[in-house]
Amino acid sequence: MRYIGECAIIFGITLVGELLNAVLPFPVPAGVYGLFLLLFLLCKGIVKLEDVEATGNFFLDIMPIMFIPATVGLIEQFGLIKEILVPIVVISLLSTLAVMAVTGKTAELMMGKGKGKEGDRQ
């Protein structure tokens, strides 16, 4: 029974996210609306952590395999990118590394100097 209730909450919120995505004019996907909605409901105590945790953790645990079909789908696009494959790969890889370095370093710098230092660890 536990999982049925949890699924009802999670898929219900997903549905509301889908609805918001369809109705509101912002380029926000259903999942992101749903993320903030669930966060809000948890913060307000309307949904308790134990009401969604078991199913939620299951979904998070299997999340990596959800990207495999789309990755496999890249073979379909090979014709499109063949000619610009090298620059695309180089640009993607280098910019990913740059973003990682700048974001991480900025965060450490800001937290190191800011008042939030004691909050870095629990």
Partner 1 sequence: MTFVQESMYLGFIFTILAYLFGVWLKKKVGWAVLNPLLVAAVVVIGGLLLTGIDYETYNQSAQHISYLLTPATVCLAIPLYKQLHLLQKNFVAVIVAILSGVATSVLCIFAMCLLFQMDHISYVSMLPKSITTAIAMGVSQEAGGVVTLTVVCIMITGIFGNMIGETALRWFRIKEPMAKGLALGTSAHAIGTTKALELGEVEGAMSSLSIAVAGLLTVIAVPVVSGWI
| Distance, CA of 100 to CA of 91 (rounded, Å) | 14
Tokens of 35: 């993320």
Nearer to partner 1, 1 or 113 (CB): 113
Nearer to partner 1, 1 or 52 (CB): 52
Can you tell me whether residue 21 is helix, strand or coil?
A: helix
Place of tokens 């645990």: 61
Tokens of 87: 């620059």
Kindly state the smallest distance separating residue 1's Cβ from partner 1, in Å.
Answer: 19
Q: Which amino acid is at 58?
A: F
Kindly state the smallest distance separating residue 23's Cβ from partner 1, in Å.
Answer: 15
Nearer to partner 1, 23 or 121 (CB): 121
Kindly state the smallest distance separating residue 99's Cβ from partner 1, in Å.
Answer: 4
